[in-house]
Structure 1
Amino acid sequence: MSPRNWFDQGGQAYARFRPEYPSELAAYLGRIAPSRELAVDVGCGNGQLTTQLAAHFDAVLGIDPSADQIANAVPQEGVRYVLGPAEHLPVGDRGASLVCAAQAAHWFDLPAFYAEARRVAASGAVLALISYGVLALDDALSERFDRFYWQQIGPYWPPERKLVDNGYADLPFPFDERAAPPMAIGKDWTLREFLGYVSTWSAVRGVREAGREDLLTAFAEDLTTLWGDPAATRRITWPINMRVGSL
């Protein structure tokens, strides 16, 4: 397969290659919520975290503004998906014991979302804004990846990406905040799986639209050399960052 074709994964790549959250994340959110009654996952996408919450709450509501994401969300007993924006949540007043947003809050109109989160929150409810940061590879690959991520495709990321890169530290968070335990996502991926994941990045789409396929081709060629056997798996980790507080 030519290096160029590593990035021609098709429309199913997003669901296939996005990293899954570890089970301890949903378990932690279940422990800190005041009750099991209702968890609301805002900007739920195709339900990666939403479905995991079902093991810890009696009812889970996934909300996303994209009809396509809702149509392709993963079904799960105890989970219901609804189309809607973060700024106008289709949820009744004072019923949610957890309001969370995973890899989504940097797109929200935060003052409007926070007002809605307060409206739907039950007494003592918890708000959790979750993101996963820049991935880490082993030493043999890290220098080339870092150069690709920070220097070569850096200008093609949307401005909101900077909020993810710094772990949401710059997001305004006017709540009684608590420290969250350290967590990470870990995957053992082949070269095809790793470059399939990279192909889902908005910055990669921006590079292609700008006619700079050469950046992608050179990166894929270098990774192919550094990786060795393309069928061999290498460990990839993403740090999970959270802002957690009481509503």
Structure 2
Amino acid sequence: MEREVTSYFDENSDLYQKARPHYPPAFIRWLAQQCRHHDRVWDAACGNGQAAIDLREHFAAVEASDVSSAQIDTAPPLDRVRFSVQSSERTEFDDAAFDAVCVAQALHWFDLDKFWPEALRLLKPDGVFAAWGYGWPQLPLRLAALLQETLLNVIAPYWAPQNRLLWAGYQGIALPSPFMRIDAPPFDMAVEWDVEQLFMYLHSWSATRKCMEEQGDAFFRRSHERLREQWGEPRKLRLALDLHVIAARKPA
């Protein structure tokens, strides 16, 4: 499974860096407020470092790791952030090393039976665990229907089953004992994209790339062309995304 998951993100890792939305600053502030101390945080499955960029504003040091060396290679150099290539289910970090363990847009890829013991091992007493991910961009109805017809229906068979955990808002993931759940308030997440930015994001999807490998990219180019014809004004649309959060505290 680890090798398969790695392959989803090794290819076009620079595209992934450019295309993915940023997380709401209000959510990152809320997360930091749940922590008693702010010395060290682990950004597990960090990808190209999007969450690490935000976390370093609130923590003295960030350890950011990912199983994909290609993702780590595209991460920008950041003060107070150390990147490493490691599996999130088995790391080289010391016991009780972190005030917070964070997983951005990746929990659904983990072997949770192995990850939960590792997260508990690495958290300090009273430390905070948080995982979050976002869903589909919400397009105007006329564009949403066209995208469904020309792209989403085509790539539907190519989604990995793990993605469905995220689409369901992580409701199918249970926190193990002794974690104590922290209820997170809703947070607004949105992007302002033109049609080119939207399709850069759609191109970064693992299902899109797998479909292209089997069918070629003609379907993608047709979808892009048809949405561009119907996009209209304004050139950039504000597109909301649902942010799903799981948060918990390790007992002191």
Q: TM-score, normalised by structure 2?
A: 0.87
Single out whichever of 10-19 and 171-180 deviates more from structure 2: 10-19
SS at match of 1:12: helix
* 2:207 matches 1:203: yes
Residue 159 (structure 1) aligns with: 161
Q: Give the gaps of 5 or more residues in structure 2.
A: 1-11
SS at match of 1:46: coil
Residue 112 (structure 2) aligns with: 110
Instruction: Report the Cα offset of residue 184 of structure 1.
Output: 3.4
* 2:187 matches 1:183: yes
Q: 1:54 aligns with which of 48, 53, 56?
A: 56
Q: Cα distance 1:115–1:15, how it changes in 2: closer, same or farther (>3 A)?
A: same
* Equivalences for residues 1-247 of structure 1 within 5 A: 12-148=14-150, 151-174=153-176, 175-211=179-215, 213-228=217-232, 232-247=235-250
- 1:51, 1:74 within 8 Å by CA — same for their partners in 2? no
Q: Give the gaps of 5 or more residues in structure 1.
A: 1-9
Q: TM-score, normalised by structure 1?
A: 0.89
Alignment deviations for residues 16-48 of structure 1 (CA, whole Å, 9 cap, x no partner): 111111212221111001211111110001110
SS at match of 1:210: helix
- 1: CA distance, partners of 2:106 / 2:52: 13
- 1: CA distance, partners of 2:204 / 2:55: 25
- 2: CA distance, partners of 1:202 / 1:222: 22
Instruction: Report the Cα offset of residue 147 of structure 1.
Output: 4.2
Instruction: Report the Cα offset of residue 55 of structure 1.
Output: 1.1
Instruction: Report the Cα offset of residue 151 of structure 1.
Output: 3.0
Name the amino acid aligned to 1:191: V
Q: Percent identity?
A: 30
SS at match of 1:158: coil
Residue 4 (structure 1) aligns with: none
- 2: CA distance, partners of 1:43 / 1:11: 13
Q: Segments of 4+ in structure 1 off by > 4 A?
A: 147-150
- 2:151, 2:219 within 8 Å by CA — same for their partners in 1? no
- 1:93, 1:119 within 8 Å by CA — same for their partners in 2? yes
- 1:43, 1:65 within 8 Å by CA — same for their partners in 2? yes
Name the amino acid aligned to 1:246: R
SS at match of 1:183: coil
Alignment deviations for residues 125-154 of structure 1 (CA, whole Å, 9 cap, x no partner): 111111111111123312223445653321
Q: Cα distance 1:220–1:72, how it changes in 2: closer, same or farther (>3 A)?
A: closer
